[in-house]
């Protein structure tokens, strides 16, 4: 391709978990540079250490790419889809386009960082400009540390340090008015057919509940944020623990795929906080702290890349887990444990690709501390079935419940699913939503519990005390709720 001398050569914008046009620093930088811009997405399941997406996340990715492609086309560009190892694919794209620059927004997993660094080295050695940008976290993990210069491993001081930073998070960037494509006399780049990636479930197609539950894409993400601020934020702090109430933001899948950025969410909610009544400001501050938990989880992933596979607290390496391939595990996965709140949560997950966060903690605690099944088994199941399966939050949260993570719930804190249901779903609204005309655990057609909760708790405490070196007779706290 030949361009006038005054026009920079083509730029490649490589999208990953940032499937949006607004507040996309890599896209903005490429357009401001001048010259044609090629927007690409590489579906990489083969590079070393890259974790393939689970089924529910693939469903979301398909629809998100579909909508993003249409938005890019409306601005005059095109979204090029390629599949394969990112290093090889990017090398091909550079050659095919004659690109002189490549831009992307940063990722924070260990394998992803290594891959990105290798591609940046290749591009620069080939004479290209190669730049990465902060787009998906409010604070870069290497810029926030304790007084001793170490990464934070406890959330509260991490969040206090974040709030004490002299500069607030930057303002979100606007969407570009246009994306300059290749000249009309140049053949467009070859692009995979999205359907050929087989991201959607078939034989059987289990996605009907996801289709009914979710709207996907950048526009839907902002509509969800608008709805949350208008209808839910004012009752968030207390309502967020009630699974029957629609009081949470439900932005997690949009954030996971970058259809909306944390800068956009933080900016909107902080503006409400500064101009609201004291009660609404309290709710806004609580929600902003939950965005902080996402930041904290990525801080952990950056410094401990094996977060999804290795105990943060290595004392747990010798824990006597039960065999993972058991009827009990199958019952848990299918929502047939005979414990109503656990079963309702697991059925919500299977039907919608989502689960209320309070219930996520309950079902995780049941698997780990009542069935004594390795937290990694649960993390993998959530990775496959959640539309918001996030590499940092999913792993950090499972380790938190297990008691082996950073700032974790102590091992002796065992969620009692019966008491949790009584406290947070007293009218059984959530239970009936997913268990049907439910009238208690003694209903004729409801299964008998697969485990005695009290006995299982005692066994769990003994096992956890063994590996932790702590006394076995520690009394559990009452009214436990996480930070």
> Burial, 22: exposed, middle or buried (Cβ in 10 Å; 0-12, 13-18, 19+)?
buried
Helix axes 393-402, 375-385, angle to 10 degrees: 150
Q: In the beta sheet, which residues pair with residue 15?
A: 41
Tell me which of 348, 398, 400, 416 is the catalytic residue.
398
In the residue annotation, 321 being an active-site residue is answered as yes
Catalytic-labelled residue, pool 293, 332, 383, 400:
293
> Quick check: is 422 catalytic?
no
Question: Rounded to the nearest 5°, which phi and psi values hold at 179?
Answer: -120, 110
**In b/e form, how buried is each residue of 310-321, taking b as 16+ CB within 10 angstroms?**
ebbbebbeebee
Residue pair 58/353 in contact by the 8 Å Cβ criterion: no
**Does the annotation mark 293 as catalytic?**
yes
- CA distance from start to end of the chain: 56
416 an active-site residue? no
Whether residue 357 lies in the annotated active site: yes
Which one is catalytic: 245, 321, 350, 466? 321
The partner residues of 210 in beta bridges, in order of sequence, read: none
Which one of the listed residues 96, 206, 245, 357 is annotated catalytic?
Answer: 357
DSSP per-residue codes, 70-125: HHHHHTT--EEEEES-HHHHHHHHHHHHT-SEEEEE---SHHHHHHHHHHHHHHHH
Q: Active-site residue among 66, 96, 245, 290?
A: 290
Catalytic: 332?
no
The active-site residue out of 375, 381, 383, 400 is 375
**Beta partners for residue 41, in sequence order:** 15, 81
Tokens read off for 199: 């991201």
CA distances from 79 to 37, 39, 74, 88, 179 (A): 10, 5, 11, 18, 11
Contact 98, 9 (CB under 8 A): yes
Contact by Cβ (8 Å): 258, 18: yes
Q: In the chain, what is the greatest distance between 2 CA atoms, to the nearest angstrom?
A: 80
| Residues with active-site annotation | 290, 293, 321, 357, 375, 398
């Amino acid at each position: 391709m030949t361009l006038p001398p005054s026009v920079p050569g083509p730029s490649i914008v490589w999208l990953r978990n940032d499937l949006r046009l607004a507040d996309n620093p890599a896209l903005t930088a490429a357009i401001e540079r001048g010259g044609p811009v090629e927007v690409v997405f590489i579906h990489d399941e083969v590079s070393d250490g890259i974790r393939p997406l689970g089924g529910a996340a693939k469903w979301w990715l398909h629809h998100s790419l579909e909508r993003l492609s249409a938005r890019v086309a409306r601005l005059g560009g095109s979204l090029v889809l390629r599949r394969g190892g990112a290093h090889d694919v990017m090398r091909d794209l550079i050659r095919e386009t004659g690109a002189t620059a490549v831009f992307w927004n940063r990722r924070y997993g260990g394998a992803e960082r290594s891959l990105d660094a290798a591609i940046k080295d290749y591009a620069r050695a080939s004479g290209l400009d190669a730049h990465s940008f902060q787009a998906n976290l409010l604070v870069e993990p290497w810029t926030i540390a304790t007084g001793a210069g170490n990464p934070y491993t406890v959330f509260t001081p991490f969040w206090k340090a974040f709030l004490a930073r002299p500069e607030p998070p930057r303002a979100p960037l606007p969407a570009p008015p246009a994306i300059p494509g290749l000249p009309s006399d140049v053949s467009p780049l070859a692009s995979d057919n999205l359907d050929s990636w087989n991201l959607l479930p078939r034989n059987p197609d289990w996605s009907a509940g996801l289709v009914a539950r979710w709207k996907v894409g950048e526009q839907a993400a902002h509509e969800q944020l608008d709805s949350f601020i208008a209808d839910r934020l004012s009752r968030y702090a207390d309502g967020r623990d009630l699974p029957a109430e629609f009081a949470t933001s439900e932005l997690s899948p949009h954030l996971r795929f970058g259809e909306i950025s944390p800068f956009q969410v933080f900016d909107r909610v902080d503006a409400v906080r500064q101009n609201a009544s004291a009660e609404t400001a309290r709710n806004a501050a609580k929600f902003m702290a939950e965005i902080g938990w996402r930041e904290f989880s990525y801080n952990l992933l950056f410094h401990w890349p094996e977060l999804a596979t290795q105990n943060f607290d290595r004392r747990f390496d010798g824990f006597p887990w039960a065999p993972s391939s058991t009827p009990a595990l199958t019952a848990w996965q299918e929502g047939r444990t005979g414990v109503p709140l656990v079963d309702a949560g697991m059925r919500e997950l299977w039907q919608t690709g989502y689960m209320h966060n309070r219930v996520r903690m309950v079902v995780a605690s049941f698997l780990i501390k009542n069935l004594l099944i390795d937290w990694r088994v649960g993390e993998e199941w959530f990775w496959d079935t959640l539309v918001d399966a996030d590499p940092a939050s999913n792993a950090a949260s499972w380790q938190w419940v297990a008691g082996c993570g950073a700032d974790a719930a102590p091992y002796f804190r065992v969620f009692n699913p019966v008491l949790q249901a009584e406290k947070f779903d007293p009218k059984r609204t959530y239970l009936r939503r997913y268990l049907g005309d439910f009238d208690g655990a003694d209903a004729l057609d409801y299964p008998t519990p697969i485990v005695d909760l009290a006995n299982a708790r005692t066994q769990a405490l003994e096992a956890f005390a063994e590996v932790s070196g702590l006394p076995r007779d520690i009394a559990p706290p009452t009214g436990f709720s996480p930070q």
